[in-house]
Chains A and B, each alone.
Chain A
Amino acid sequence: MSKSDWNSPEAVKRLAKRHAAERRFKAIGLGAIVLSLAFLALLLFIMLRNGLGGLDWTFLSGSDSTDASVAGVWGAAKGSLLTMLVTLLISFPMGVLAAIYLEEFAPRKRWIEWVEVSINNLAAVPSIIFGLLGLAVFINTLNMPRSSPLVGGLTLALMTMPVIVISGRNAIKAVPPSIREAAYGIGASKVQTTFHHVLPLALPGILTGTIIGMARALGETAPLLMIGMRAFIATPPDSLTAPSSVLPMQIFLWSDEIDKAFVQNTSAAIIVLLVFLLAMNGIAIYLRNKFEVRW
């Protein structure tokens, strides 16, 4: 082929067409991201516009009420706090210990494969199924008190545990074998190596995963609907077995109110919830950046 072929009108035209297609494709890609982010911005904007006016001390310190002007979010926030406490106390130790066992000690046997398969599947089971489990086991079989942070926390702990196990395993896997070999070399036993050397190095990664799992549990509503945490609760819960509400449930209950005044309350409660979630995710990102070691 001679050089002039590339400069012939047809070839130039074809090239221009291909380059135009290239630019179009790139623009579509950018457009997809911009559209998604625009949706996010719209959502946040509408919640801020509707809710910012309702964020005052009465709202932050009050509990649910039939009167929108005195209804507040503290009762539900305290319920969320107690529920998250139960979830953390159960799922964190269980998740970390299970991750350690599966990553460091488990024999390559058939039943270990079953454990792994069930953990991976539990992480993808719809949350409402955990609510059905909580209802059938904790309330109908073990007769625990309905609507209580204890049952809510246990249910969410079962849901959060697989997330912690998976992130914990990844964090432990990322610790290089040379650390273990060095510990063995100076006479540490396997348990000592794991708990004195591998675990502290993996902890930032595990904590990051735990916080992300907890943030997910904090925003979860469906399983708690199943165990009856949708009652009208006008006082903050004072124990783990007292009937209580949680933040997302409060949002759901207020969104059902016919009184238009509750629109402001609902949006304000959403702002409170999103601030909590953003703070948790921020801490997770900070931990990851500050303590994560790239080997």
Chain B
Amino acid sequence: MILTGVLLAVLGLGLVGWFAARARARLLYKGRGSMHSMPTYHGWHMALWILVPALLAWGVWQAIMPGLVNGAVFADPAAATLPTDPMTLGAVMSEAYNLAADPSAAAFNPEAQAMVEPIRAAQTRFGLIGAALVLVVAIAGGGYGFTRIRPDFRARTQVERAVLAVLLIASLMAILTTFGIVASLLFEAGLFFKDVSPIAFLTGTHWSPASTSGTDISDNFGAVPLFWGTIYIGAIIAMIVAIPLGLMSAIYLTQYAAPAARKWLKPMLEILAGIPTVVYGYFAALTVAPLIRDFAAGIGMENPSTESALAAGLVMGVMIIPFVSSMADDALAAVPRAMSDGSLALGSTRSETIKKVLLPAALPGIVAGVMLAISRAIGETMIVVMAAGAAARLSANPFDTMTTVTYQIVQMLTGDQEFNSPKTLSAFALGLVLFVVTLILNIVALRVVKRFREAYE
């Protein structure tokens, strides 16, 4: 609490320093060309010298203070009565810390109640020391900054250097995130592969992570049915829907539609891409799946399930339509006008030109777009969670329930079990596979698009 107050005080000091330095710099101004930097930059320079060292000191103190408080509390005479068993000790101490932070809470454990006063005392003491330290650093920094205010001081250069450092840190966040994803997936998947052999995982056909039977635990973690379900739903059924509809929409919009119609139809089509996947999932489960079940019963299937690969795949395909359409749109637009003009001039009709000239020329771009669409479809979660089902099976019947990689990740991580069981960790192994596959699809597709653009430039 003290440290939060000090943070505000430091910010206030920074503001005061900004105004003070600017005012001082203005006094130094003796006409055009007499100073290197404008007074505002002197203000910023001063404010930086107050804020940056003080915030660093604050952060350091924030990090080491709990250790110091803990040390002081254990040195207190009241700590002599504490239990020695590390487990109970930890429970008592964490309760005592909660009590110290929240006076309204009732003590459950008398030993914890006894520790509250020493904790509060130590927290106040070290809080005050920290506050004093931070303020001293701020004032020292400010003092140094203030002495630098001279007509020939290059305050702007210094401030701009700081700005550039901030920009650089912001752009490194992307690399940090990528690194974080790779590291956390590899680490947790590594723990998983200690128990389960990677080969059994990637080639086994039996998936029942909940069962503990069987001699080798690896036998229960064969992920091939999940990969098949993912490919069947995301890359086959969804694409059978999305490729023709998306491609034909793009052809109509770019080649036939009047500009006014295009102006209205294209944004309407894009609404499909903006609808949250949970809404699609609900729609699939509520409306599409029962229709498909009735249809399956109608063509003589026995006991068709409500959850089917077809329902999930169909709805997913519709979701992907605008994506395929806009990728195809780009690919068609990249084909030079002269090619289709030449074909039209030879007397072919528009549809012949599209089929014989435009589509073959745009094919690499369209294929890349389809690859990106597949990578999006196989990573899609909510639709399959709500409509595809949990049964891991290798089947080519679209009316069967099937499960996917993303469904199983959700399934493994939303139950209530300890974190380090192979069942939970398998989610990270599946995540790693998903990440690698989508990464490869994306990189290849982007490369194809780039080549393709260059070919026509």
Chain A residues in the interface with B (C-beta under 8 A): 18-19, 21-22, 24-26, 28-33, 35-37, 39-40, 42-43, 46-47, 50, 93-95, 97-98, 100-102, 105-106, 114-115, 118-122, 124-130, 132-133, 135-137, 140, 158, 161-162, 165, 189-191, 195, 215-216, 218-222, 225-226, 228, 230, 248-249, 251-252, 255, 263, 266, 270, 273-274, 277, 281, 285
Contact = CB atoms under 8 A, between A and B. Distances in A.
Contacts of A190: 160
B122 interface: no
Contacts of A50: 286
Given A36-B245, A115-B171, A225-B410, A122 B268 contact: no
Contacts of A25: 350-351, 354-355
Contacts of A32: 244-249, 252
Binding site secondary structure of chain A: helix
B352 A129 contact: no
B276 A121 contact: no
B406 to A, nearest CB: 5
Sort A-B residue pairs by CB-CB distance and give the 7 closest, nearest first: A126-B379, A219-B276, A29-B252, A136-B184, A32-B248, A97-B170, A25-B351
B79 to A, nearest CB: 24
B286 A124 contact: no
A248 B178 contact: no
B351 A122 contact: no
A18 B287 contact: no
B40 to A, nearest CB: 11
Interface string B364-391: 0000000010011011111001100000
Contacts of B438: 124-126
Contacts of B283: 43, 46-47
A40 B272 contact: yes
A252 B382 contact: yes
A189 B351 CA distance: 55
Contacts of B177: 118, 122, 133, 158, 161
A252 B184 contact: no
Given A46-B287, A140-B419, A22 B349 contact: yes
Interface string B174-218: 110110110011011000000000000000000000000000000
A21 B355 CA distance: 12
Contacts of A195: 163
Contact of B318 (A39, A94, A255): A39
11 contacts: A26-B350, A36-B322, A43-B280, A47-B283, A122-B178, A124-B376, A136-B187, A161-B173, A162-B174, A225-B413, A263-B286
Given A165-B174, A230-B414, A274-B279, A133 B184 contact: yes
A248 B276 contact: yes
A124 B245 CA distance: 22
Interface in B151-168: 156, 160, 163-164, 166-168
B282 A161 contact: no
B123 interface: no
B278 A252 contact: yes
Contact of B410 (A94, A165, A222, A277): A222
Contacts of B275: 40, 43, 219, 274, 277
Contact of B277 (A94, A136, A221): A221
A219 B245 contact: no
Interface stretch (B2-10, B59-67, B131-139, B426-434): B426-434
B386 A252 contact: yes
Contacts of A46: 283, 286-287
B278 A137 contact: no
A226 B173 CA distance: 22
B190 to A, nearest CB: 12
B443 A121 contact: yes
B443 A126 contact: no
B153 to A, nearest CB: 16
Given A36-B318, A118-B178, A135 B277 contact: no
A18 B282 contact: no
A220 B246 CA distance: 24
Contacts of B355: 25
Interface of B: 156, 160, 163-164, 166-168, 170-175, 177-178, 180-181, 184-185, 187-188, 244-249, 251-253, 255-256, 265, 267-269, 271-272, 274-283, 285-287, 318, 321-322, 349-352, 354-355, 372, 375-376, 378-382, 385-386, 406, 409-410, 413-414, 419, 427-428, 431, 434-435, 438-439, 442-443, 446
Nearest to A19: B349
B239 to A, nearest CB: 15
A40 B268 contact: yes
A221 B435 contact: no
A169 B181 CA distance: 24
Contact of B379 (A47, A95, A129, A191): A129
Given A115-B172, A133-B177, A137-B184, A36 B286 contact: no
Nearest to A190: B160
Given A36-B249, A37-B268, A122-B177, A220 B431 contact: no
Contacts of A31: 248
Contacts of B256: 26, 29-30
Given A189-B156, A255-B282, A98 B375 contact: no
Contacts of A215: 274
Contacts of B164: 101, 105, 191
A43 B249 contact: no
Given A98-B171, A98-B173, A222-B381, A128 B406 contact: yes
A281 B271 CA distance: 9
B435 A125 contact: yes
A191 B406 contact: no
A118 B380 CA distance: 21
Contacts of A255: 278, 281-282, 285-286, 386
Nearest to B351: A25
A28 B354 CA distance: 13
